[in-house]
Structure 1
Amino acid sequence: MRSFAPPLKDWSRSFSLHGLWVNLALEDLRDRYRRTVLGLTWIVFSFALFVGVKMFVFGPLNAASVSEFGVYVTLGFGLWTYINAMVTDACTAYMHSRAWILGTSTPYPVYLLQAIARNWMIFGMILLVMAASLYWNPKPITMNALWALPALAMYLVSSVWVSAILAPLCARWRDLYQTVQTGLRLVFFATPILWMPRNFDRLATIAELNPISHFIAIVRDPLMYGRVPVDSWTLVLVTNAVGLLAGAVVYASTRRRLPHWI
């Protein structure tokens, strides 16, 4: 238990430094879109454009109506965009903060929280497009739609342990970053975003075995269909519980060696 005291102190200090990691996240976004005409509006524009193209290409392959498939793709792709970006940024969180880690005594979780904050700022703009798409949902919105809020909170929890695990491991083994990127590209096609499980029996089985499908379902199902996917919620809660434990162990066992790895 004593070995977990310094890591807990790191995280406690990092949360108290919320002004630092929020401003670092904002500066990242300013640098990314500096001197562009549309600025942060590029986030909404590019997302809406991608959704439109995907609907045009893959819509005829699905039996659902245009409006249902449009909402289905918008919600699914919006959630996937966050998951993909968060996992990718988690891999490089420490490597991108190399100068800060080597030159300051700032606790390491600050850089993980910086990556999480940056991705939630982007996700917040995408959520606006996702919310607007519900106007075309064929089914009326019910009170079960409120289950999407705790579901999004699960995304926040997942972001913490994913970052705590991937950031140090990718700093130690650089090939892991490339492996994760390749894996995400493959998992995308195994996730029900551009196709509906009810239309493909074999793909429905794949979706059941894919954890990311369940993370998407706990948000999309209440919003689109007014139902709460209990099985998906169970898997997400268990995954987060195991992930938090694994994240604590990985952070505690790697924090002293991190400066040598980066």
Structure 2
Amino acid sequence: MTVAGKPLSAQAGPVQTNRPATPNRGRLALRDLANGMNQHWLWRAMAMQDIVLRYRGSVLGPLWLTFSTAIMIAAMGFVYSQIFHLDPERYVPFLTLGLLVWQFISSVITDGCSAFMSVQHAIQQVRLPYTVHVLRSVFRNLLILGHNAVLIPIVFLMMGHGIGWEALMVIPGLVLLCINGFWISILLGMLSARFRDVPPIVAALLQVIFFVTPVFWTVETLGKYRHVGDFNPLFAAIDVVRAPLLGEPFAPYSWQIVGTMTVGGLLVTAVFFSRFRSRIAYWV
């Protein structure tokens, strides 16, 4: 068909298509985070189910976590208070809080390594935000910390240790620990999915770090080398929770270290998650 001696196709301009613009990687990562946070009912239910399934058929159930921790505190409290020549009434509360917070931190790190690999079938078969699996891991360990926290008032009453209003500072400390656990789990989860040697390396490092971090020994023990302990990031993470409950001042740089670690870790993880998020399903 022609119009004015020219084919109709020649007179028509280029075909216009209204295809939506493809979101960039950063927006996809933010969308993943927003969708994961919105589905809080899902990862909370999955976290609670993880604990129930772990102790299915057990008489005490999750209380076994608290029972085993209580035995460790009793044994270590007696032995190390004698080794360090410390008053048990002051040392046992210090040890209790240090072990509880360390268990939370170390569990978040080790579980973070398997945050994606442990749910590879769900990732490959169900379309869910990747952050759902990470939030599930962090919340599961927060629940375990809550179970073990019942030991704190028991130990404090037995040792005659009181709790003041400064204990409220434990709330922002725990919030920062959870935020750090979130970005650590994403970063280690991606690295572990890509490089399967990462989980055993992390587990081995945590065993060493436990003994060189002031968990069951005080930072004052280092004497003139105290700064080595003060600048230990894991000690800072423990200190922002332990110090207010003990009614003691924070170590000089604890909040600065934890704050820097939180901001820096989130920025680094945001870059890695935006860049490699689309490859997680292939890595697992």
TM bin (shorter chain): over 0.9
Deviation of 1:257 after TM superposition, in Å, equals 0.8
Q: Is 2:55 aligned against 1:42? A: no
| CA–CA distance in structure 2, aligned partners of residues 131 and 7 of structure 1 | 41
| CA–CA distance in structure 2, aligned partners of residues 162 and 248 of structure 1 | 11
Judged with a 3 Å threshold, the aligned counterparts in structure 2 of structure 1 residues 139 and 30 are, in CA distance, closer, same or farther, namely closer
Q: Is 2:208 aligned against 1:201? A: no
Give the match for residue 235 of structure 1: 257
Q: Is 2:47 aligned against 1:25? A: yes
Give the match for residue 140 of structure 2: 118
Deviation of 1:3 after TM superposition, in Å, equals 2.6
Alignment of 1:1-262 (within 5 A): 2-136=24-158, 140-201=162-223, 204-262=226-284
Counterpart of 2:234, as a letter, is I
User: What SS class does the counterpart of residue 230 from structure 2 fall into?
Assistant: helix
Deviation of 1:249 after TM superposition, in Å, equals 1.2
Q: Name the stretch that deviates more: 26-35 or 143-152.
A: 143-152
Q: Deviations over 1:100-139 (max 9, x none)?
A: 0000111111110110111111111112212432335666
| CA–CA distance in structure 2, aligned partners of residues 17 and 162 of structure 1 | 20
CA contact (8 A) 2:231 2:257 kept: no
| CA–CA distance in structure 2, aligned partners of residues 93 and 170 of structure 1 | 9
Task: Name the structure, 1 or 2, with higher relative contact order (CA <8 Å, separation 6+).
Answer: 1
Counterpart of 1:259, as a letter, is A
The size of the alignment, in residue pairs, is 262
| CA–CA distance in structure 2, aligned partners of residues 138 and 63 of structure 1 | 19
| CA–CA distance in structure 2, aligned partners of residues 140 and 27 of structure 1 | 35
The TM-score with structure 2 as length reference comes to 0.87
Q: Name the stretch that deviates more: 84-93 or 219-228.
A: 219-228
Q: Deviations over 1:18-64 (max 9, x none)?
A: 11111111111111000111111101101111111111222211132
| CA–CA distance in structure 2, aligned partners of residues 27 and 139 of structure 1 | 35
CA contact (8 A) 1:145 1:222 kept: yes
| CA–CA distance in structure 2, aligned partners of residues 121 and 141 of structure 1 | 22
| CA–CA distance in structure 2, aligned partners of residues 29 and 203 of structure 1 | 41
CA contact (8 A) 2:236 2:258 kept: yes
CA contact (8 A) 2:89 2:161 kept: no
Deviation of 1:216 after TM superposition, in Å, equals 0.8
CA contact (8 A) 2:78 2:88 kept: no
Q: Deviations over 1:121-178 (max 9, x none)?
A: 1111112212432335666433222211111111111111111111111110010111
Deviation of 1:195 after TM superposition, in Å, equals 1.3
RMSD value, Cα: 1.7
CA contact (8 A) 1:190 1:210 kept: no
The TM-score with structure 1 as length reference comes to 0.94
Larger radius of gyration: 2
Judged with a 3 Å threshold, the aligned counterparts in structure 2 of structure 1 residues 23 and 139 are, in CA distance, closer, same or farther, namely closer
Q: Deviations over 1:67-115 (max 9, x none)?
A: 1110010000000000010000000010110110000111111110110
